Chains A and B, each alone.
Chain A
Amino acid sequence: MNKIVNDFSITVGTKNGSGSSTANNTILRSVFKMGIPVSGKNLFPSNIQGLPTWYTIRVNKDGFIARQDANDIVIAINPDSFVRDLASVTPGGAFFYSDDIKQPIPRTDVAIYPMPIKSIVKNDPNVPTDYRDLVGNMVYVGVLAQMIGMDMDKILAALTFHFKGKQKPIDMNFNALKAGAEWAKTNLEKKDPYHLEAMNKTDGLIMTDGNTAGALGSIFGGVQFAGWYPITPATSLAEGLNDYLPVLRKREDGKHTYAIVQAEDELAALGMAIGAGWAGLRSMTSTSGPGLSLMTEFAGLAYYAEVPVVIWDVQRIGPSTGLPTRTSQGDLTFTHFIGHGDSHSIILLPGDVYECFEFGWQSFDIAERAQTPIFVLSDLDMGMNQWMSKPFQYPETPMDRGKILWEKDLEEIKGNWGRYLDKDGDGITYRTLPGNKHPLSAYFTRGTGHDEHAKYTEDSNAYMRNMERLKVKHYNAASYMPKPINHPIKGATVGIIAYGSTENAVLEAQYHLAKEDGIKADFLRVRAIPFTEEVTRFIEKYDQIFIVEMNRDGQMYQILLTEYSQYASKFRSVAYHDGLPAAAKWVREGIVAVAVKDAVEKLNNKKESKSDLAFLVKILKSKSAKLSIPGVKPTATKSSSKKNSTISMIGNVSGSIIVMGSHNTSTINSSLNQAAIKTLAKHLGAELLKAIKENQYD
């Protein structure tokens, strides 16, 4: 059997609330400490106890650590998901299960390993009865460690970290783990190909989740106020503030430079944050889609009243009890246009936990500079899962507090100022803060009905002047937005634009598209709206640009269409939404499907190039493609021996090329006209027939 080293996935199926997260984190951290690139994704239900939950770990020596949409090693602990878990194992993969589950095992194409978890724990006198299930999770880690070669020293280091050095739980868990490993050593014979071997690819890296990173970034950005309300998956961001602020902003006098308030709801959470931002504090809130819905009115007010505030949206699926524990990029257009009337929000789009930290502090600078709400769009995958990352970097630029006038400033200009007076011509006006004792400092804040001096007015011209200035302010902000990250590839002819947590999946797809599908795509990860000039230049460069995102309607695609209407014909939406962390598979299949559609259209209009034809032929011959001819039974093709007979048959029923993978949502139908079929057939010929006769015809 060929060894497969450091390139596989491990999925553990347990019950929610069974305490398996310690075990799963131990696997993740141990692999990480072995120097092998790794990621862990918790695929959990909205439930405290009892429902099936999975944890999937991707190990990849090349650094492709997006979720792998296939389960090479499956560990089944939950009887309720046993059948499903067994069925999910890749052919040739490995299946470990707790041997107290008495269910038939019909598969013969995978290595089967029963594990006597219960009896091993029962025989350990040091494990109290109450802890048996909890510690039992460590037994499967031990068995797995033995079978794939996890380093015991690294495991101990992981446990020591997890239990913060407390010897008793470390010992209890490590002993159970060792017992599992010992048992496997004596009783199991290796029948699968998966092995771990230590590398040095994680040297100097850290591992954390985006919510912790966002909280820490906010603290290094000098957060002074947060109003928040619990909501999955954003809760741990605010909790991170509560955890780390007392440590990082500790003062000798024991007094505080910040206040974190758990509000009664999201309406109040943002209201408080806006009040604090208005009064001059570095202020924030964190929420997810349903909470953002509640915050909409306040966000609109803050936009018009020009109040700096940072709003984290850790995106999930919703509303109501919808899929609250599933990830999404579904709030992009919502946040972009949030509020009624005309509004354009500044949006930051972190792509990994490092950027959650970075944008954590930068967002305050941008908010105070632009005097407007800044939305930071994270998501559940980034926010709650553990990601490898380069270490956080101390902010290299001093805080930008924006245009604020204090007493001495007002003295200098003899109080001659207007809150909404555009003195510098950049759309950004000067503001004063409550507590300013200068008698000309105060102004009255309201929505749109004000003139340049914040006096109430319903004058049409004053309204229009203000609205135009706000627009100028928004587009000027592009000059100080985070620039996009470019991942070029040699000989690229098309582009990919993506954002947020899909980066790893897109990078992996980019590699395979170039290597196997003949699509060489330059990849630009956008990190902010408004778009910077780098985004414009990228768009100008390519005629075909795939916009990859995790939602149904292609929200970034929509915004690009609006902002770059002159280039609208270049954009192709590759949107996908199953609630799970992005996987390279759907990115690749989606792009291929759209590219096929484009090529077919060109073929239909006789505008194809050689490369279009070559691409179509390549795809139709590849395993990811399936060619179907509606209304024609497979037997019809069997009887055809001449090349041309096939062509006429397809032509008669208006042919359809469907490129699809195992995910049906990537399906895109492309109909070929008669002439196109003839052209294509000239190039496919016998090979097409062969493909149809063999396994590719459904």
Chain B
Amino acid sequence: MTETLPMAGATANVNLAGLSKNDYRGAPTTLCQGCGHNSISNQIVTALYEMNIVPEDVMKFSGIGCSSKSPTYFLNRTFGFNSLHGRMPSIATGALFADARMKGIGVSGDGDSASIGMGQFKHIMRRNVNMVYIVENNGVYGLTKGQFSATAERGLQLKKQGENPYMPVDICMEALVSNATLVARSFAGNPKQVKELLKVALAHDGIAVLDIISPCVTFNNQENAFHSYAWGKDHEEPLHEISYIAPRNEIILEREMEDGEVREVAMHDGSTVILKNLERGYDPTNRFEALRVMEEAQRNNWLVTGLLYVNTTKPNLTSIYNLVDTPLNRLTEVDLRPERAMIDKINSLMF
């Protein structure tokens, strides 16, 4: 399929697909300067470029909100559908049947997925749709100028809103109990980890939830807020480093990490975050352990980041349906309309 691609600027830096990084870019962002979402968009561009994924082999989806605007800002050459509030999952579920070889990249937010979209969020998990499901999580509604979202922690103070009286929704926990086959959390201020997790998610054959704490620089960035840069920097506790190694579609997890490894990561605003690996080996294929770690993190106010859970044994949605090899949207009348003789057969059944 790549032979129809233009090879303009072939001497420039290109990846194995023959594409330059520009081929992965989108329109200029219209989000606030310093928004965590922009950093995530950049990592999506880089991850796809480094994985040699052709933009035409992907579909991108979103719902409604700041995060859902962001698919415009990456992958210009990729078909995209900015759908309705909370209903990206259903659009993606239907669309990905059209060409089962394609991968979905969905970008949603906490307002989009944890409130109106909670139902669809959980159902796309249990269907194991072949899509990276990114939740750009900032605990606040940005486009409507600063209301609490369902992931805002109890007690959070916001201008005009007062104090949040409700318990928060934990995206990763919801994903896990809904039988998601890949669950990870990261922090927008840790672009390297975001990128590595994106690569793992893109290589995963099924639903891959990335809950990325993405601070809202405008409405929710008080020092003490759960989803702020400052809080994230202090509380982020990566499970382990992940490196994705290219051999196609195979997830290679570096299970044995050195205990107590400490690494400084530069953030896009110039500051650094100290990521600390957990003091023990973590097995992301152990669902029970994933739940336990999350429960423990909640109790200690930790931001556990990293690959929390992965299960590569479950078939994705379209493979359950045993579809023909040709993409469904390239089938024609010959494949789709029953033969003329069948009409008599049918009529004979209609007593």
A contacts, CB < 8 Å to B: 29, 32, 158, 161, 206-208, 212, 216, 219-225, 227, 244, 248-249, 251, 253-259, 261, 263-265, 267-283, 297-298, 301, 305, 389, 391-395, 398-399, 407, 411, 432-439, 441-447, 455-456
A255 adjacent to B323 (CB under 8 Å): yes
- Looking at A265, A301, A411, A434, the one whose CB has the most chain B CB atoms below 10 A away is A434
B82 adjacent to A445 (CB under 8 Å): yes
Interface set, chain B 321-351, CB cutoff 8 A to A: 321-325, 327-333, 335-338, 340, 342-343, 346-347, 350-351
Contact A222 to B90, CB < 8 A, known contacts A434-B79, A438-B4: no
B59 adjacent to A267 (CB under 8 Å): no
Min CB distance B344 to A, Å, is: 8
The verdict on B138 contacting chain A, using a C-beta distance below 8 Å, is: no
B119 adjacent to A279 (CB under 8 Å): no
Hey, which chain B residues are within 8 Å of A273, CB to CB? 94
B contacts, CB < 8 Å to A: 1-2, 4-6, 23, 27, 54-56, 59, 71-72, 76-84, 87, 89-99, 101-102, 119-120, 123, 127, 318, 321-325, 327-333, 335-338, 340, 342-343, 346-347, 350-351
Min CB distance A641 to B, Å, is: 65
C-alpha spacing A29/B82, complex, angstroms: 51
A279 adjacent to B99 (CB under 8 Å): yes
- Which of B23, B76, B80, B338 lies in contact with A219, CB distance below 8 A? B338
Min CB distance B207 to A, Å, is: 15
Q: A305: nearest residue on chain B (CB-CB)?
A: B81
Contact A255 to B80, CB < 8 A, known contacts A271-B90, A272-B91, A441-B56: no
Min CB distance A304 to B, Å, is: 11
Min CB distance B65 to A, Å, is: 13
A220 adjacent to B337 (CB under 8 Å): yes
Hey, which chain B residues are within 8 Å of A436, CB to CB? 56, 79
C-alpha spacing A136/B76, complex, angstroms: 69
B120 adjacent to A256 (CB under 8 Å): no
Hey, which chain B residues are within 8 Å of A264, CB to CB? 119-120, 123
B81 adjacent to A275 (CB under 8 Å): yes
Min CB distance A331 to B, Å, is: 21
A-B contact pairs, 25 of them (CB 8 A): A220-B337, A222-B333, A224-B331, A259-B323, A261-B93, A267-B90, A271-B89, A274-B91, A275-B94, A276-B95, A276-B97, A279-B95, A280-B328, A301-B84, A391-B343, A393-B343, A394-B343, A434-B79, A437-B2, A438-B4, A439-B4, A442-B79, A442-B80, A443-B80, A444-B79
A255 adjacent to B324 (CB under 8 Å): yes
C-alpha spacing A227/B92, complex, angstroms: 12
C-alpha spacing A686/B56, complex, angstroms: 88
Q: A267: nearest residue on chain B (CB-CB)?
A: B87
- Which of A244, A256, A265, A271 lies in contact with B322, CB distance below 8 A? A256
A268 adjacent to B90 (CB under 8 Å): yes
Q: A29: nearest residue on chain B (CB-CB)?
A: B351
C-alpha spacing A439/B343, complex, angstroms: 42
B337 adjacent to A222 (CB under 8 Å): yes
B99 adjacent to A399 (CB under 8 Å): no
Hey, which chain B residues are within 8 Å of A257, CB to CB? 323-324, 328, 331, 335-336
Other A-B contacts than A227-B94, A399-B336, A439-B55, 13 sampled, CB-CB below 8 A, are A161-B351, A216-B346, A222-B337, A223-B336, A267-B119, A267-B120, A279-B94, A281-B328, A394-B340, A433-B329, A435-B56, A441-B79, A446-B82
Hey, which chain B residues are within 8 Å of A455, CB to CB? 27
B94 adjacent to A271 (CB under 8 Å): yes
B98 adjacent to A248 (CB under 8 Å): no
Q: B54: nearest residue on chain A (CB-CB)?
A: A437
A439 adjacent to B5 (CB under 8 Å): yes
- Looking at A158, A273, A280, A392, the one whose CB has the most chain B CB atoms below 10 A away is A280
- Which of B1, B6, B59, B322 lies in contact with A255, CB distance below 8 A? B322
Min CB distance B57 to A, Å, is: 8
A206 adjacent to B102 (CB under 8 Å): no
- Which of A29, A279, A399, A437 lies in contact with B98, CB distance below 8 A? A279
A207 adjacent to B90 (CB under 8 Å): no
Q: How many A-B residue pairs have CB under 8 A?
A: 225
Contact A442 to B55, CB < 8 A, known contacts A206-B347, A264-B119: yes
C-alpha spacing A227/B4, complex, angstroms: 34
A407 adjacent to B95 (CB under 8 Å): no
B324 adjacent to A253 (CB under 8 Å): yes
Hey, which chain B residues are within 8 Å of A219, CB to CB? 338
C-alpha spacing A179/B90, complex, angstroms: 56
Min CB distance B59 to A, Å, is: 5
Q: A454: nearest residue on chain B (CB-CB)?
A: B80
C-alpha spacing A399/B56, complex, angstroms: 27
Q: A264: nearest residue on chain B (CB-CB)?
A: B123
A442 adjacent to B98 (CB under 8 Å): no
Q: A204: nearest residue on chain B (CB-CB)?
A: B347
Q: B6: nearest residue on chain A (CB-CB)?
A: A439
Min CB distance A10 to B, Å, is: 19
Hey, which chain B residues are within 8 Å of A434, CB to CB? 59, 79, 95, 98-99, 102, 329
B325 adjacent to A255 (CB under 8 Å): yes
B72 adjacent to A444 (CB under 8 Å): yes
Q: A441: nearest residue on chain B (CB-CB)?
A: B56
A398 adjacent to B324 (CB under 8 Å): no
A207 adjacent to B95 (CB under 8 Å): no
Hey, which chain A residues are within 8 Å of B1, CB to CB? 437
Min CB distance B322 to A, Å, is: 5
C-alpha spacing A275/B347, complex, angstroms: 33
Q: A265: nearest residue on chain B (CB-CB)?
A: B119
A251 adjacent to B340 (CB under 8 Å): no
A278 adjacent to B95 (CB under 8 Å): yes
Min CB distance B323 to A, Å, is: 5
A276 adjacent to B98 (CB under 8 Å): yes
B89 adjacent to A444 (CB under 8 Å): no
Q: A443: nearest residue on chain B (CB-CB)?
A: B79
Hey, which chain A residues are within 8 Å of B82, CB to CB? 444-447
Hey, which chain B residues are within 8 Å of A441, CB to CB? 56, 79
Min CB distance A674 to B, Å, is: 62
Min CB distance B86 to A, Å, is: 9
A271 adjacent to B91 (CB under 8 Å): yes
B336 adjacent to A254 (CB under 8 Å): no
Hey, which chain B residues are within 8 Å of A223, CB to CB? 336
Q: B82: nearest residue on chain A (CB-CB)?
A: A446
A445 adjacent to B5 (CB under 8 Å): no
- Which of A277, A280, A391, A438 lies in contact with B347, CB distance below 8 A? A391
C-alpha spacing A280/B98, complex, angstroms: 7
B93 adjacent to A275 (CB under 8 Å): yes
B81 adjacent to A398 (CB under 8 Å): no
Q: A434: nearest residue on chain B (CB-CB)?
A: B79
C-alpha spacing A522/B8, complex, angstroms: 68
Hey, which chain A residues are within 8 Å of B323, CB to CB? 255-257, 259
Q: Which 9 A-B pairs have the closest CB atoms?
A: A271-B90, A275-B94, A222-B336, A279-B98, A280-B329, A272-B94, A435-B99, A276-B94, A275-B95
Hey, which chain A residues are within 8 Å of B347, CB to CB? 206, 391-392
Hey, which chain A residues are within 8 Å of B98, CB to CB? 276, 279-281, 433-435
Contact A275 to B92, CB < 8 A, known contacts A255-B324, A264-B123, A441-B56: yes
Hey, which chain A residues are within 8 Å of B78, CB to CB? 442
Hey, which chain B residues are within 8 Å of A253, CB to CB? 324
C-alpha spacing A392/B346, complex, angstroms: 8
Hey, which chain A residues are within 8 Å of B77, CB to CB? 439, 442
Min CB distance A592 to B, Å, is: 37
